[in-house]
Chains A and B, each alone.
Chain A
Amino acid sequence: MSHQGASLLSKLASGDKHGEASPYFDGWKAYDNNPYHPTHNPQGVIQMGLAENQLCSDLIKDWIKENPHASICTAEGVDSFSDIAVFQDYHGLKLFRQAIAAFMERARGGRASFEAERVVMSGGATGANETLMFCLADPGDAFLVPTPYYAAFDRDLRWRTGIRIIPVDCKSSNNFQVTKHALESKYLTAQETGIKIKGLILANPSNPLGTTLHREALETIVNFINDKQIHLVCDEIYAATVFTEPGFISVAEIIQNMDHVNRDLIHIVYSLSKDMGLPGFRVGVIYSYNDVVVSCARRMSSFGLVSSQTQSFLAAMLSDHRFVDNFLIEVSKRVAKRHRMFTGGLKEMGITCLRSNAGLFVLMDLRQMLRDQTFESEMALWQVIIDKVKINVSPGSSFHCSEPGWFRVCFANMDEDTLQTGIERIKDFVLGDRANKNNNNCNCLCNNKKENKKRKSFQKNLKLSFSSMMYDEHARSPKLMSPHSPLLRA
């Protein structure tokens, strides 16, 4: 890297707010250098750090075969090729917007309606989140974000916008639910220190928790922001992955019965990346109840429109309501099955996960395996999981979790056999660790079992040496990775 080059550039380019100079890339790197394959590389690293939905592509492929008119590259569809290829209107194809609005409605069981006119495109949810920040806040302003939260918010919300994130810590003692007290407290502190809070952003269903907000919680949050007259951005990207009670309640649904709320404050971020498993298509959506925001975000969408080829295809597919309804049922079913399989497998070895009803992952509770309740221990354990257990999972600290020991593990981005292999590896590791600890306990004079568990006996056996916490960007930054964009060996 040319240092002379770096001094010529903007502060943005010279700094590291892009978020990639972080230790978490070790996991990606380990996977990238040694990716698991059932036959070619059965000892490789299994990717369980990628929140992708690879469970339903068969349904889409079948639909494609049955609907050649949906593509502009078939004999049936090529007549539209030129019109579509020149279409760059930032309103988007009307049919596309209508189909997206309909999909959003159906994913919420018809309990809320969406207007096609408010659907604004963006470069994935990544672009949507950034664009909303540009619309709602000035550099130096802040947004409250309950922890733990999606790691890339740090980049998407802050990097080029200059906005600050104020984390609102949530505790495992109440299953990481955000409380009014926590919100009020953080808001007050910010005010006292002269920080201007412009809004609250959260993902519902949550990443990494996999939980949905209860009605009361949602109402509390909406009332909170309305009371303070600050914005609420709900990232509902996992809406269709909800598979069991209490079900999904969208902010769109809640405000229908809250007439006193200023709708100019309510905004939804959506995408087809998770619900439909199409992250490559970059279909981000901003849905705002604020007319000025709709207008402004639409103008900004020029910086990241959805390819008209993709709009055209999706317009056709998502207009097929029968397909959509069946798809939504299947997504939910298949995610549920994976969830059951994974949590069931973990339960057998005495590992619990945060109780969840949505998402493509679970938050695994490994607090008992930490040497001590510190993030250092968490990182150490994580290194072991990557290097020895050979699974890439995401440590809670990467999500700004306030308590160490939680790990997010994805289960929908591989086939069932690979998932089973992952479960086996975890089982071996956990049981092996327990055996070691039991052996050591016999010789231990200490009565407190909890303290015993914290001893890092597994270290001795696994003969690890941990590198320090200082991760040099040169050495560690993967050549090919961004947090949610691993290299696919095409």
Chain B
Amino acid sequence: MVSLATEKKQDLNLLSRIASGDGHGENSSYFEGWKAYEENPFHPIDRPDGVIQMGLAENQLCGDLMRKWVIEHPEASICTEQGVNQFSDIAIFQDYHGLPEFRQAVAKFMEKTRNNRVKFDPDRIVMSGGATGAHETVAFCLANPGDGFLVPTPYYPGFDRDLRWRTGVNLVPVTCHSSDGFKITVEALEDAYEKALLSNIPVKGLLMTNPSNPLGTTLDRECLKSLVNFTNEKRIHLIADEIYAATTFGQSEFISVAEVIEEIEDCNRDLIHIVYSLSKDMGLPGFRVGIIYSYNDRVVQIARKMSSFGLVSSQTQRLIAKMLSDEDFVDEFIRESKLRLAARHKELTTGLDGLGIGWLKAEAGLFLWMDLRNLLKTATFDSETELWRVIVHQVKLNVSPGGSFHCHEPGWFRVCFANMDHKTMETALERIRVFTSQLEEETKPVAAAPMMAKKKKKCWQSNLRLSFSDKRRFDDGFFSPHSPVPPSPLVRAQT
């Protein structure tokens, strides 16, 4: 076999520009974190010194409820004794409208996760290959190559691939600042819009994630209204990724764009679209249940035709249809999920509070937006990356640095908490405690003020004797990260 280098060269001439480029987004240095985890994954017994995965926004807290339901309802599956008589009908069902009961159940679930304050029409439910597929399809429907979408920062890194890679669409960042809690302001929107026009990028829409990834915050009614008004005025689309809709807990309330448009007179609904999925709210990322819900009839039609490229398996549609039709189960699941998320969140934040580590006040999502700005040598992304490497290799926690989310300011880190059990959380907190106390010892004492009070000298660098190899490129053969683009480590399947 020819060496990889020569092969690659030859290949790139044979292939498309899309295949030869790196729009897939995986040539990013952040994969170092994944690599560290994969090489040495934490296990409480087998590998207590391994890297703890805190970069994966997954909801693994309610698997027990789901398993219980599944066992109690064998007819929901077509591969059980009780359900197999439906096997043939389901196995041949490839209609891109989806099973009617599936659409009805998903519509109902969307209503429940928005506290029944708004209705969803099952005929507007369009399937896609996860939210990943949904975003790409929406981009194909709304924008031409070269057009742009405004996206408030910080934002989910997967958008860079999902919205741009095969579509040729641009993303135009709308800068949000920590000084006002990363709020999306009309000024920032106008600013970004102008910048896009100056760069000859026709703006076709605004994409926002609510609840936010990575912030964990939800948009209040006024802000939502201002977004709808802004986009309506500019006659551009508003795409609301509501994938974390049911992950709100505590005092936080989730207001969907679906609710807000009811309150705005003369709202042009042809511009309003929702992307949804069961990956986060239900913890079923493997099932690839992506949803496009558009108020624009033509978009519904076209997206539905495009869904042929990524339909939900009829086997899965059937199971989900049965599960989500069980209203008692759904109510219980949503309730329990919120309670458990709240508890895990509290555990983490209490721990961090005790160590004087700041975090953005938020009560949604499967993660925390941690503030380590005061630990940076300089307020630069280079410093952030250095600190991140220490956290990954020394503290042995895979967290996600703000730079990977296009955050405007260095020093923020997203820390996931819903993909681990209580003991692992304890271990993680302990490691952070050790790390911060090490730092305290090594720096000049500044009264007894907590860490965030003053910037300190970064002597930890010399003490920890790390050597960083710069710009590591990862040969796809070995450590390519897995779907979707960060975060998503290899799950070592039991099969």
Contacts and interface: CB of A to CB of B under 8 A. Distances in A.
Interface of A: 1-2, 4-6, 8-13, 18, 20, 52, 54, 57, 60-61, 64-65, 68, 70-75, 78, 80-91, 93-96, 123-124, 126-127, 130, 134-138, 141, 155, 160, 229, 231, 264-265, 273, 277-282, 290-293, 295-296, 299-310, 312-313, 315, 480, 482, 484-488, 490
Contact of A231 (B4, B14, B136, B144): B14
B88 interface: yes
Interface in B292-351: 296-299, 301-302, 305-306, 308-316, 319
A13 B141 contact: yes
Contacts of A137: 16
Contact of A20 (B78, B144, B305): B305
Contact of B309 (A123, A141, A484): A123
Contact of A309 (B87, B287, B298, B480): B287
A372 B8 CA distance: 54
A302 B144 contact: no
B237 A8 contact: yes
Nearest to B296: A5
B466 to A, nearest CB: 30
Contacts of B152: none
Given A278-B91, A307-B286, A487-B97, A123 B129 contact: yes
Interface stretch (B68-76, B376-384, B409-417, B438-446): B68-76
A12 B144 CA distance: 8
Interface in B434-486: 476, 480, 482-485
Given A88-B484, A488-B93, A304 B133 contact: yes
B493 interface: yes
Interface stretch (B58-66, B188-196, B218-226, B398-406): B58-66
Nearest to A479: B97
B476 to A, nearest CB: 5
26 contacts: A5-B298, A8-B142, A9-B296, A10-B144, A13-B140, A13-B302, A57-B88, A88-B279, A88-B286, A88-B483, A123-B133, A123-B309, A124-B311, A138-B17, A155-B308, A281-B91, A282-B310, A292-B8, A293-B19, A296-B15, A303-B129, A303-B133, A303-B309, A304-B129, A308-B287, A487-B95
Interface centre among B14, B26, B141 (most CB of A within 10 A): B14
Interface in B28-42: none
Nearest to B488: A88
Contacts of B120: none
Interface residues of B, number: 100
A51 B299 CA distance: 29
B283 interface: yes
Nearest to B270: A5
Contact of A87 (B70, B83, B141, B286): B286
B19 A309 contact: no
Contacts of B24: 296, 299-300
A8 B235 contact: yes
A486 B95 contact: yes
A134 B71 CA distance: 42
A300 B165 CA distance: 9
Contacts of A280: 90-94, 313-315
A70 B296 CA distance: 41
Contact of B92 (A54, A71, A304): A54
Contacts of B271: 8
A130 B309 contact: yes
B199 interface: no
Q: Identify whether the interface residues of A are mostly helix, strand, loop, or mixed.
A: helix
Given A280-B92, A307-B286, A487-B97, 9 more contacts: A2-B296, A5-B298, A73-B74, A81-B67, A123-B311, A277-B91, A280-B93, A280-B313, A305-B288
B286 A90 contact: no
A278 B283 CA distance: 26
B11 interface: yes
Contacts of A82: 60, 63, 66-67
Contacts of A65: 81, 84
Contacts of B180: none
A302 B309 contact: no
Interface centre among A231, A291, A301 (most CB of B within 10 A): A291
Contacts of A304: 129, 133, 288, 309-310
B286 A85 contact: yes
List 8 A-B pairs, minimum CB-CB distance, nearest first.
A308-B286, A90-B483, A280-B314, A73-B77, A71-B79, A304-B310, A307-B313, A82-B63
Given A71-B77, A292-B7, A6 B284 contact: no
Contacts of B255: none
B96 interface: yes
A181 to B, nearest CB: 26
A349 B345 CA distance: 76
B142 A85 contact: no
B77 A6 contact: no
A305 B310 CA distance: 7
A282 B311 contact: yes
Contacts of B78: 64
Contacts of B319: 73, 309
A292 B141 contact: no
A486 B302 CA distance: 17
Given A61-B88, A312-B495, A485-B94, A74 B74 contact: yes
B12 A292 contact: yes
A367 to B, nearest CB: 32
B14 A126 contact: no
A307 B312 contact: yes
Nearest to A18: B305
Given A299-B24, A308-B287, A309-B286, A89 B483 contact: yes
B490 interface: yes
B84 A64 contact: yes
B313 A306 contact: yes
Nearest to A20: B305
Contacts of A71: 77, 79-80
B101 interface: yes
B446 to A, nearest CB: 44
Contacts of A11: 144
Interface centre among B70, B91, B96, B143 (most CB of A within 10 A): B91
